[in-house]
């Protein structure tokens, strides 16, 4: 993406970023499902957070 750290005006920065996104090549499709690399837990007691 375009380097917009020096641009002070919020609207101008937004326009520059949007233009850069349109020019960029499309991202490749995912090879594995989202979240598949997350640590899995078997069973948690009630009131215990999963992660």
Better pLDDT: 41 or 11:
11
Task: Tell me the average pLDDT across 17-39.
Answer: 90
**Is the pLDDT reported for residue 29 higher than 90?**
yes
**Is the pLDDT reported for residue 50 higher than 80?**
no
What is the distance between the alpha carbons of residues 41 and 50, in angstroms, rounded to a whole number?
7
Which tokens in the block code for residue 24? 């960029």
Cite the DSSP H helix spans in the chain.
10-23
pTM: 0.49
User: With contact defined as beta carbons under 8 Å apart, do 13 and 4 qualify?
Assistant: yes
**Residue located via tokens 């949007």:** 18
Torsion over CA of 15, 19, 24 and 30, rounded to 10 degrees?
Answer: 50
Q: What percent of the chain has pLDDT over 70?
A: 94
For residue 33, the model assigns a pLDDT of 93
For residue 15, the model assigns a pLDDT of 93
Which tokens in the block code for residue 48? 């215990």
């Amino acid at each position: 993406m375009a380097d917009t750290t020096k641009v002070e005006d919020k609207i101008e920065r937004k326009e520059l970023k949007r233009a850069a996104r349109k020019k960029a090549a499309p991202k490749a499709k995912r090879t594995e499902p989202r979240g598949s690399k997350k640590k899995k837990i078997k069973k948690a007691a009630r009131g215990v957070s999963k992660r």
